[in-house]
Structure 1
Amino acid sequence: MKGIVSSAVVASALFFTGCGDNKGDSQETKASADNSKKTYVLKFSHVVSANTPKGKAADYFEKRLEELSNGQIDVQVYPSSQLYKDNAVLKALKLDSVQMAAPSFSKFGKIVPQLALFDLPFLFKDIDHLHRVQDGEVGKELKSMVTEKGYKALSFWDNNFKQFTSSKKPILMPSDAEGQKFRIMSSKVLEEQFKAVGASPQMMPFSEVYSALQQGVIDAAENPISNIYTKKFHEVQKYLTISNHGYLGYLVVMSEKFWNSLTPELQKDVEQAMKEATQKEREYANELDKEQFDLIKKYAKETGKLEIFTLNDEQRKAWKEATSKIYPDFYDKDVIGKDLIEKTLATE
């Protein structure tokens, strides 16, 4: 009996001792469980309308991330500069006033000038080559540079390739650009691109381009099809050349503070949702490019006021030889860097 009582006492003691030892673990488990149920609000600010490729991809990302996170992340998309314009959104991301944005590459000019890589003329063979560069080593290096500046760089999104338009003459060979006044964005690369072929680059706000073309203040411009169609540049230019000579795109970035506040599991959800949204955005951009080009071709056929050309292989080769001469001007690693340019050219 004594043995039985002793055993009972020992068992009882072990039971309560065990409860005491596990108290801290229990609290930690509870805290971990509470953290796993924490909800987050992610404000995604962008400057275009909801029916554009970027706008539609942002909405897709919202739906997909909310699904993957089981509602833990509430994504709120604000299109059409409802929260911030691109020139203010990077500062807002630093302050965590907004958690995600997709500014054009030019907005990163003073932060990561290496993104001017995408301005270099005739650097990419086609859209598939471009995407292999963005998804490969070069893209990772560029995103790492942005992340080092206090942002979480997530993915590249398309606007699309740029085309030439002119009111003077068809732009088929480099000599055709000589003497023409081309509107450009603020970019040293674009300035040198046109100087290389004897053209006169004119830096001008996008909002002034239509009237400048209409009034003959400038002769020509370079824009993706979406800009040409939506801003009706094709109605005030006589010639359109499908050149695919340069690229316009966006970099989707997240507030570093917000990213670091997420659990590893939720970070994986963000990356998966972004991967899927990027594929969708590329599809949307390609579809819109074809759709709007068809509308431009219809306008040209019905009015006879616009002629459309496409560079052939020989013409494209001549352009690349003429403009690639500027590449060494940007070999300095503090501008673009020889390594990034050569890796891009070598990407299969």
Structure 2
Amino acid sequence: MIRKLTAGALLSALMVVAPFLIADQARADDPIVIKFSHVVAENTPKGQMANKFRDLVAERLDGKVVVEVYPNSQLFNDNQVLEAMLLGDVQMAAPSLSKFGQYTEKLQIFDLPFLFKDMAAVERFQNGPAGQKLLTSMEDVGLLGLGYIHNGMKQLSASKPLLVPEDARGLKFRIQSSDVLQAQFEAVGALPVKKPFSEVFTLLQTKAIDGQENTWSNIYSKKFFEVQEHITASNHGLIDYLIVTSDEFWKSMPDDVRAEVDKALAEAIAHGNKVAMDKATGDRAKIAESGRSTIHELTPEQRAQWVEVMKPVWAKFEDQIGKDLIDAAVESNM
């Protein structure tokens, strides 16, 4: 028998169900929040890229998506952020490429010494099939790369001119924690010393180490040029960042919204990379104008010597990185 609800019973039922219907509708109308965590100041290329992304999303998504930027490690540092991302505590970050070692060995390609001759070669590789394929190299652990943001090419500085590999023999160089970078200096008979970035100036000033490697912007902003008599414009390595998100979060967005977010991010990356290029050029000029350090240019023949000495380092990590990737990187120099 079908029983008819009285008006009072129907009203009571609606009163019970209505709050849940209203809550569901409110959740559907809530914006998608992207917490973007990074570790540097807002005036850096990475910081300016993140803020540009936030502003473009606000301008184009009409409140459907809100980007919250947290600079200066306000939420997490680069050693914490990837785990936090997998837990859903943050949706985007841009750690240094060297921070992904526990998730994939393939990104070590960007640490290989004297592999790329300049930033144009780096961009050809990153924007080509091999570099784009690397963005998905961590999907099996739930991380998805969205693009590369530049800091710049690394240069060598030391207490003496470094023109050919033999010039580095016996010198102590500060390095980040990286098996590739350790092998790089050992290949030329130098002594790699793993020390925090914050200690480099004092180590150079007190002669506890003889040299270091860094981008023009870091050499200028941290005043390394004031305590290093010689800088070689070697372009021997790269300090870049990978913009990364959770694969689950990225795919949870509606297709049309995700497409607009992706477009805004691409424009923000282009903006940040132009800032990085301009800063590298400007800071190099400031170092030259200071007269505190002599900048040495490598001739093609001198650079060829460095490349030849470093090829065994490429071979040492070939199984981890993949010969196909290394070959594609070499081709990007053509």
Give the secondary structure class of the aligned counterpart of 1:190.
Answer: helix
Quickly say closer, same or farther: Cα 1:137–1:34, change in 2 above 3 A. Answer: farther
Please say if 1:143 is aligned against 2:130: no
Q: Structure 2: how far apart are the matches of 1:195 and 1:141?
A: 31
Q: Structure 2: how far apart are the matches of 1:323 and 1:331?
A: 13
Q: How does 1:101-120 map to 2 (within 5 A)?
A: 101-120=93-112
Aligned match for 1:339, one of 316, 324, 328: 324
Q: Which residue of 2 aligns with 1:239?
A: 230
> Which AA in structure 2 matches 1:66?
A
Q: Which residue of 2 aligns with 1:12?
A: none
Q: How does 1:1-348 map to 2 (within 5 A)?
A: 37-167=29-159, 169-300=160-291, 305-332=292-319, 335-347=320-332
> Which AA in structure 1 matches 2:200?
V
Give the secondary structure class of the aligned counterpart of 1:244.
Answer: strand
Asked if 2 retains the 8 angstrom alpha-carbon contact of 1:156 and 1:278, the reply is yes
Asked if 1 retains the 8 angstrom alpha-carbon contact of 2:176 and 2:194, the reply is yes
Q: Structure 1: how far apart are the matches of 2:317 and 2:144?
A: 26
Q: CA deviation at 1:131?
A: 0.6
Q: CA deviation at 1:34?
A: 8.7
Structure 1 segments of 4 or more deviating over 4 A? 33-38
Q: CA deviation at 1:311?
A: 1.2
> Which AA in structure 1 matches 2:318?
Y
> Which AA in structure 2 matches 1:182?
F
> Which AA in structure 2 matches 1:165?
S
Q: Structure 1: how far apart are the matches of 2:100 and 2:282?
A: 30
Give the secondary structure class of the aligned counterpart of 2:235.
Answer: coil
Q: Structure 1: how far apart are the matches of 2:46 and 2:54?
A: 12
Q: CA deviation at 1:73?
A: 0.5
Deviations 1:291-327 (A, max 9, x none): 1112211211xxxx42111112111111111112221
Deviations 1:102-139 (A, max 9, x none): 00011101111211100111111321111111111111
Structure with the greater alpha carbon radius of gyration: 1
Give the secondary structure class of the aligned counterpart of 1:56.
Answer: helix
> Which AA in structure 2 matches 1:204?
K
Amino-acid identity (%)? 44
Give the secondary structure class of the aligned counterpart of 1:141.
Answer: helix
Asked if 2 retains the 8 angstrom alpha-carbon contact of 1:164 and 1:240, the reply is yes
Give the secondary structure class of the aligned counterpart of 1:148.
Answer: helix
In structure 2, the gaps of 5 or more residues are 1-24
Asked if 2 retains the 8 angstrom alpha-carbon contact of 1:120 and 1:246, the reply is yes
Aligned length: 310
Q: CA deviation at 1:284?
A: 0.5
More displaced, 141-150 or 276-285?
141-150
> Which AA in structure 2 matches 1:324?
K
Asked if 1 retains the 8 angstrom alpha-carbon contact of 2:117 and 2:236, the reply is no
Asked if 1 retains the 8 angstrom alpha-carbon contact of 2:37 and 2:73, the reply is yes
Q: CA deviation at 1:35?
A: 8.6
Asked if 2 retains the 8 angstrom alpha-carbon contact of 1:61 and 1:274, the reply is yes
> Which AA in structure 2 matches 1:224?
T
Structure 2 length-normalised TM:
0.89
Deviations 1:152-194 (A, max 9, x none): 2100110100001111x10111111111111111111111111
Q: Structure 2: how far apart are the matches of 1:150 and 1:280?
A: 28
Q: Which residue of 1 aligns with 2:22?
A: none
Asked if 2 retains the 8 angstrom alpha-carbon contact of 1:96 and 1:257, the reply is no
In structure 1, the gaps of 5 or more residues are 1-32
Give the secondary structure class of the aligned counterpart of 1:161.
Answer: strand
Q: CA deviation at 1:256?
A: 2.8
> Which AA in structure 2 matches 1:256?
D
Q: Which residue of 2 aligns with 1:18?
A: none
> Which AA in structure 1 matches 2:314?
Y
Q: CA deviation at 1:38?
A: 4.5
RMSD of aligned C-alpha atoms?
Answer: 1.7
Structure 1 length-normalised TM:
0.85
